[in-house]
Chain A
Amino acid sequence: MSDEVKQVLPLAKPMEGVSGKTGTWRVTKPVFHNDKCVKCRLCWLYCPESVIEIVDREDAFITINYDYCKGCGICSDVCPTKAIDLVPEGE
């Protein structure tokens, strides 16, 4: 018999997707248009799921992780230049 005692604890590390694949909740999808973006970072600040990443590349200032983006539309709402469109999922 082993002396090792292993507890079963109600713990989880903070991480993306800790409450499941929230991407399946999406009925509308935020689509980013780099040409309109003025790099203000408001979408990054407001996204409640923290799935917007500032990548600051030539072709894209931000990326959105659609596995966990729940489609709430807040990013699109706060964007001052309407650089994020909301389109129906699946189109």
Chain B
Amino acid sequence: MAVKPLTGNYAAAWAARRARVKVVAAFPITPQTTIVEKLAQFIERGELDAKIIRVESEHSALAAVYGAAAGGARAFTATGSHGLMYMHEMLWWVAGSRVPLVMAVAMRTLGPPWNIWTDHSDAMDQRDTGWLIMFAEHNQEVFDELIKMFKVTEDEKVYLPGIVNLDAFILSHTTEPVDIPDQEVIDSFLPPRKQPYVMKAGNGLTMGNIPKDLRENMEMREDIFRAQERAKRVIEEVDEEWYRLTGRRYGGLIECYRCEDADHYIAGVGAWVGDMREAVDRLRSENGLRVGLLKIRYFRPFPREEISKWLSNAKSLIVFDRSVSPGSAGPLFLDVVTHTTLAGLRLPIKNVLAGLTGLDVTYEDIENVVLKSVGEVEESGTFRNFIEWHYGGEA
């Protein structure tokens, strides 16, 4: 065990190294580039026995690691922003063919205008691809979750690819101490790779032919849907196993911070959950407001049972989204509203759209929104408006 000061990107590269990936392919894009640069350095120095496939685009990067993974190799790629958009088609191919594969996404605003700062639109755009989608809060979680993601995706109950998202700069380029367990520890945790089939020479097999029977095709879709459901238990079990090994556990799909006695709740994904924790502590100590925080770790599969369980006695909920579906609302909000409604909960839920395009958000901004909004609920039983664009931060 060794604690190293690492950026989120280096933590991601270390995870790929410790997972002993055999094939890496990626195309440079800010803020992802230093992940693959670090991996190239590991390989160059003989610290990682892997091949880097040089490609001319992100679409090809995922296609290359997809081929390697289908051929039986543990493979890894990383991208973000427009790179992820360009890759998007291949995400469907990987998930649809049920090939386990792990990717880190350094989330960055989509243009125009050109912008390198964090925003969750690129990650949220992968919602329906069938990939497991996880959002990290800090660099340790980036490392831990990538390692766990290999195990979860290679579980026969799942056999789906997975993404770990990390925010541009505020994680990707932020240095902080990260514990990197020794290779033997990770080796004892990660079994040899398993996958539903291996494409190799001499083994006549085609994947993805035009279906004769559309019913079977639809069943494939349903099977992905069910695999996502099954992944929930696997994610929780793997989290517990990791805890026994490293002393670190994250609560599986979701963590509820200071929720035991909470009246009002806030929810979010990604790095700014750290600022939300600070806001919750201060709202409690300085304003006497019993606020709880739902840190949603996995967006896919979506932790609907857990959210509804925590909210069963809640007076209100504010969902913070760092991306939006124009013409509707924030993606996290939409899922939360759908599933709490299906669970029969009737509480006021508000969507705060903040920090889009990388606009800086402080814990004071979060406190201010919560104070104002919860004040409305205490006064009238509901929010004055249900979708609010919040610009509190400075650029």
**B113 contacts partner chain A, Cβ-Cβ < 8 Å:** yes
| Cα distance, A10 to B111, chains bound together (Å) | 9
In chain A, positions 9-67 with a C-beta closer than 8 Å to chain B are 10
Question: Is the contact region of chain B dominated by helix, strand, or loop, or is it mixed?
Answer: loop
Neighbouring B residues of A10 by C-beta, 8 Å: 111-113
The interface bits of chain B over 112-125 (1 if a CB of A lies within 8 angstroms of the residue's CB, else 0) are 11000000000000
| Cα distance, A49 to B388, chains bound together (Å) | 42
The interface bits of chain B over 81-117 (1 if a CB of A lies within 8 angstroms of the residue's CB, else 0) are 0000000000000000000000000000001110000
Distance between B356 CB and nearest chain A CB, rounded to angstroms: 13
Q: Which residue of B lies closest to A12 (CB)?
A: B113
Question: How many B residues touch A, CB cutoff 8 Å?
Answer: 3
| Cα distance, A10 to B112, chains bound together (Å) | 7
Distance between B116 CB and nearest chain A CB, rounded to angstroms: 14
| Cα distance, A10 to B113, chains bound together (Å) | 6
| Cα distance, A23 to B112, chains bound together (Å) | 26
Distance between B117 CB and nearest chain A CB, rounded to angstroms: 15
Distance between B376 CB and nearest chain A CB, rounded to angstroms: 25
Distance between A57 CB and nearest chain B CB, rounded to angstroms: 39
Q: Which residue of B lies closest to A10 (CB)?
A: B113
| Cα distance, A10 to B357, chains bound together (Å) | 13
In chain A, positions 63-83 with a C-beta closer than 8 Å to chain B are none
Q: Which residue of A lies closest to B112 (CB)?
A: A10
| Cα distance, A10 to B109, chains bound together (Å) | 14
Distance between A19 CB and nearest chain B CB, rounded to angstroms: 11
Neighbouring A residues of B112 by C-beta, 8 Å: 10
Distance between A31 CB and nearest chain B CB, rounded to angstroms: 34
| Cα distance, A83 to B111, chains bound together (Å) | 43
| Cα distance, A70 to B111, chains bound together (Å) | 27
Neighbouring A residues of B111 by C-beta, 8 Å: 10
Distance between B179 CB and nearest chain A CB, rounded to angstroms: 39
Distance between A39 CB and nearest chain B CB, rounded to angstroms: 39
| Cα distance, A84 to B113, chains bound together (Å) | 37
| Cα distance, A10 to B114, chains bound together (Å) | 9
Neighbouring A residues of B113 by C-beta, 8 Å: 10
| Cα distance, A10 to B110, chains bound together (Å) | 13
In chain B, positions 53-102 with a C-beta closer than 8 Å to chain A are none
Distance between A58 CB and nearest chain B CB, rounded to angstroms: 44
Distance between A5 CB and nearest chain B CB, rounded to angstroms: 16
| Cα distance, A9 to B112, chains bound together (Å) | 9
Q: Which residue of A lies closest to B113 (CB)?
A: A10
| Cα distance, A34 to B187, chains bound together (Å) | 72
| Cα distance, A10 to B115, chains bound together (Å) | 11
Q: Which residue of A lies closest to B115 (CB)?
A: A10
| Cα distance, A44 to B378, chains bound together (Å) | 67
The interface bits of chain B over 319-363 (1 if a CB of A lies within 8 angstroms of the residue's CB, else 0) are 000000000000000000000000000000000000000000000
Distance between B286 CB and nearest chain A CB, rounded to angstroms: 36
| Cα distance, A65 to B109, chains bound together (Å) | 34
Distance between B121 CB and nearest chain A CB, rounded to angstroms: 15
Q: Which residue of B lies closest to A11 (CB)?
A: B113
Distance between B318 CB and nearest chain A CB, rounded to angstroms: 26
Distance between A13 CB and nearest chain B CB, rounded to angstroms: 14
| Cα distance, A88 to B112, chains bound together (Å) | 38
In chain B, positions 180-229 with a C-beta closer than 8 Å to chain A are none
Distance between A46 CB and nearest chain B CB, rounded to angstroms: 26
Spell out A's residues near B (CB within 8 Å): 10
Spell out B's residues near A (CB within 8 Å): 111-113
A to B CB contacts below 8 Å, 3 in the list: A10-B111, A10-B112, A10-B113
3 cross-chain pairs, A with B, having the tightest CB-CB distances, nearest first: A10-B113, A10-B112, A10-B111
